[in-house]
Amino acid sequence: MAPIRVAVVGMGKIAHDQHLPAIAGNPAFTLAATVSRSDSTVDGVPHFRTLQDLLDHGPDVDAVALCTPPQVRYDLARLALDKGLHVFLEKPPGATVAEVDALAAQAGARGVTLFASWHSRHAAGVAPAKAWLAGRRITGVNVIWREDVRVWHPGQDWIWQPGGLGVFDPGINALSIITHILPDPFFLTEAVLDVPENRAAPIAADLHFRDARGTPIHMDLDWRQTGPQSWDIAVETDGGTLQLSQGGAVLALPGETLRNADEEYPGLYARFAELIAQGQSDADARPLTLVADAFLRGTRRTTDAFFD
């Protein structure tokens, strides 16, 4: 079978650091083109300033990976789907839940694949964590997701604008893990969002959820942490405590600790190829729905101005 010809749209840090190596390492794909308004190009690969330019004048492609900010992703995805292309959405899959639902319906009507990617679900410890939790009674969950925004998102003003999610940009990674590994659905009961006085999106958030059994789930998000970063999930069960740390890369179970190689983006592209081969889509919007609920129900608290 010929490789899937994929174009990467949006040539920022995540495209260079993760997408391009994952595509190069998967024989199911070949990098056919790049698209960006910047001059960030790849040697020997055709480059276009817009997706429309690529579609009008470029080589044939079978799929696009959209790595742009979420606020502009819907129109790009709709254009690609309308042309019969498979679409890989970097996380979060859109600026609103309704956008993702509309794209999923369009992909279904066109008979092409829409993949809402959640890279943290492919961290090494996540699949064994899900298997270990199956059938166990969960009594509580605590998530601490704290990092330094100046390290991970320097100068990225879009992330502070409406639709950019603020601290939920990393926080949604934790939500993507716990919506995947916990056996029961859960929902928000209360939230406090700390919003800098000069920004539109929160820099920190304290959230409480519960599932239908009443199990409490607490999440502490903060973008002001310096020094060591905290990406930790603890799940209390009748069989002991499960700990996921380093964003899901390390799993500690009672009596053992598992650590494997980082396979997040290679895993995403393996999944994308599988979906295309099967003629299916995977557009799970549950993590984004929970973020939307936090904005809907959360109390906004003004905090000190933030300057990058």
Q: What is the pLDDT of residue 308?
A: 87
Give the model confidence (pLDDT) of 43-97 as tens digits. Answer: 899 999 999 999 999 999 999 999 999 999 999 999 999 999 999 999 999 999 9
Q: Which residues pair with 63 in a beta bridge?
A: 6, 86
* Pairwise CA distance, residues 9 & 32, whole Å: 11
Which of 268, 293, 281, 277 lies closest to 118, judged by CA? 268
Which comes out higher in pLDDT, residue 240 or 260? 240
8 Å CB contact between 63 and 277? no
Classify domain 120-260+292-303 at the CATH topology level. Dihydrodipicolinate Reductase; domain 2 (3.30.360)
User: Domain segments of the chain: what residues?
Assistant: 4-119+265-283, 120-260+292-303
For the structural domain made of 4-119+265-283, what CATH number should be given? Answer: 3.40.50.720
Establish whether 13 is a catalytic residue: no
